[in-house]
Amino acid sequence: MTFVPMRARALGTQPKTLFVNDSGRFFAGSDAFVERLLQNEPSDAEFAFLRSEGHWLDDDDALGRAAHSRSVARRFTIAGPLDYLILVPTLRCNLSCSYCQVSRVNAEQQGFDWSEETLAAVLHCLDQLPAERIKIEFQGGEATLRPDLIRAVMERTSRFRERQFVICTNLQSIDDEVLAIFDCPEVFISTSLDGDSATHHRNRTHHSEKTDQFFYNLRFIVDRYGPRKVSALPTIDSSAPPAVDDIIDAYLEYGLDSIFLRPINYQGFARKRHKSSREQGAQWRAYYESFVRRIIERNWEDRDRVFEETYLSIGLRRIFRPGVERHVDLRNPNLAGHDYIVIDYDGTIYPTDEARMLARSGVVDLAIGTVQDGWDSETRTLLNQHATNQFDPDCQKCVYQPFCGRDIVDDLARYGRIGLPRHETEFCRRHMHLFDFIFELIYSDCPKIRYSIGRWLRLPTTPLAIGQIIP
């Protein structure tokens, strides 16, 4: 009899050790249990628990091993056909944010929009897609500076059974043409909201009229369509973060419940203007935890509204709902250029938006092809040879490997190489902290925490306990 492949890690503040097998099934054990395991003396009851939960198998249990293998396989991300495109019809923008990730150009500049040829190639590309559903995210620059290009793409996708469009916009200007696009029920609007008016002004707009215009437009679209059509993300300068309640209140004011708390991304202009954003230290982690704990409190105080921190919910789904979460920054293997691509303003194709940013910043060119000539390239093959955390020596020891992912573009952005020991990378430190924190919440006895976790996992009721424990 043996354990199925499994790993262990002490939980931070609780007297427990977490055990996770390769299929992602987990339990926590007391200090006494760990001592007994180290002495090879688990009790009969403990053996029975381990066996019944699929952590311990008899040598001749072929069915049990097959079941375990199948569960491990379910943890792998299977990249389907290409059905998610990030399109950059223009690089021009009418704002100049200090931490702009993509090295935008001024709104008046020429030569930074799709040409007629590029548009034709994009439309041809859409015609060739084998998928039945399509998700298209319009990025920029400011995509709404070219509503004609957005419309042309939308019109060309009428053959798909399901369509979803996300227009990423700074909401500085909404004319009738843009409004007609927003009116389409398949269109969703994604914008940036850094917190209260003063914070947004300082970080992004820099002019009172622009700040007022943004908040006026945000109110206008929320009133017109309801908050479900709108999502917003704050970017936080972790060296001077706003008060937690100020952010939550700003989102509450517009009926927005999901807050993706992101520190400044070490990309584009931020590489020069916010050099400290390369690594996020203890200060950011503490801020993040205080933010989540505050929304837990507020969810408990007001049961009519459930706030969530988006990335924490993604982490929870990675743990509890394998195969459901498709967030492309946290998956394993994270194949490049298969089920989603980015088409830049000049028709160049990148595996991720961050890869596009790196090329614009002159750090490294990770273009995998062009929309005219295709993207089944050597660069793509090379990137995909390193797309999994499965064989990394650090990840092989890490209890969170089944839930975690791999993002070599992030490594290249921060360190210019992908061969650093995992634990020395921001990606690893960030996710080690995230999962430590999630399991601390999972094993908390606090009813307020269990209430929020239940809502974030979309459970119908609040569970009495979320994780199993061997005393």
Partner 1 sequence: MGNEVVAIALSERDRCLAREAAKWATNTHQGVAITAAEAATEIGGSRPQGELRRIWNAALLNERLVAEASVERAAILGQLVK
Among 1, 3, 245, 463, binds partner 1 (CB under 8 A): 3
Q: Is the Cβ of residue 104 or residue 422 nearer to partner 1 in the bound state? A: 422
Among 206, 219, 397, 458, binds partner 1 (CB under 8 A): 397
Question: Does 323 participate in binding partner 1 (rule CB under 8 A)?
Answer: no
Number of residues that bind partner 1 (CB under 8 A): 33
CA 334/CA 355 separation, integer angstroms: 14
Contact stretch for partner 1 (CB under 8 A) within 101-109, 122-130, 315-323, 394-402: 394-402
What Å distances lie between residue 144 and 87, 152, 342, CA to CA? 12, 13, 17
Under rule CB under 8 A, which residues in 33-72 are in contact with partner 1? Answer: 34-35, 37-38, 68-69, 72
Under rule CB under 8 A, which residues in 412-441 are in contact with partner 1? Answer: 421, 423, 432
Q: To the nearest whole angstrom, how small is the minimum distance from the Cβ of residue 422 to partner 1?
A: 9
Beta bridge partners of 37: none
Are 156 and 107 in contact by the 8 Å Cβ rule? The answer is no
Q: Whose structure tokens read 């029920």?
A: 185
Contact stretch for partner 1 (CB under 8 A) within 139-147, 348-356, 363-371, 396-404: 396-404
Give which of 164, 162, 168 is closest to 93, Cα–Cα.
168
For residue 42, the tally of other CB atoms under 10 A from its CB is: 17
Q: Is the Cβ of residue 96 or residue 381 nearer to partner 1 in the bound state? A: 381
Q: Is the Cβ of residue 29 or residue 351 nearer to partner 1 in the bound state? A: 29
For residue 236, the tally of other CB atoms under 10 A from its CB is: 24
Q: Is the dihedral of CA 41, 44, 50, 51 positive or negative?
A: positive
Of all helices (H) and strands (E), which one includes residue 168? strand 162-168
Q: To the nearest whole angstrom, how small is the minimum distance from the Cβ of residue 401 to partner 1?
A: 10
CA 311/CA 326 separation, integer angstroms: 12
Question: Does 398 participate in binding partner 1 (rule CB under 8 A)?
Answer: yes
Q: Is the Cβ of residue 16 or residue 135 nearer to partner 1 in the bound state? A: 16
Contacts of 78 by beta carbon, 8 Å cutoff, 6+ apart: none
Under rule CB under 8 A, which residues in 282-301 are in contact with partner 1? Answer: 282
Paired sense of beta strands 56-57 and 2-3, if any = antiparallel
Q: To the nearest whole angstrom, how small is the minimum distance from the Cβ of residue 332 to partner 1?
A: 12
Among 76, 254, 300, 415, binds partner 1 (CB under 8 A): 76
* Burial classification of residue 19, based on how many CB atoms lie within 10 Å of its CB (0-12 exposed, 13-18 middle, 19 or more buried): buried
Kindly list the residues in this chain that would bind partner 1 in the complex (CB under 8 A): 2-10, 13, 15, 17, 22, 31, 34-35, 37-38, 68-69, 72-73, 76, 282, 390, 394, 396-399, 421, 423, 432
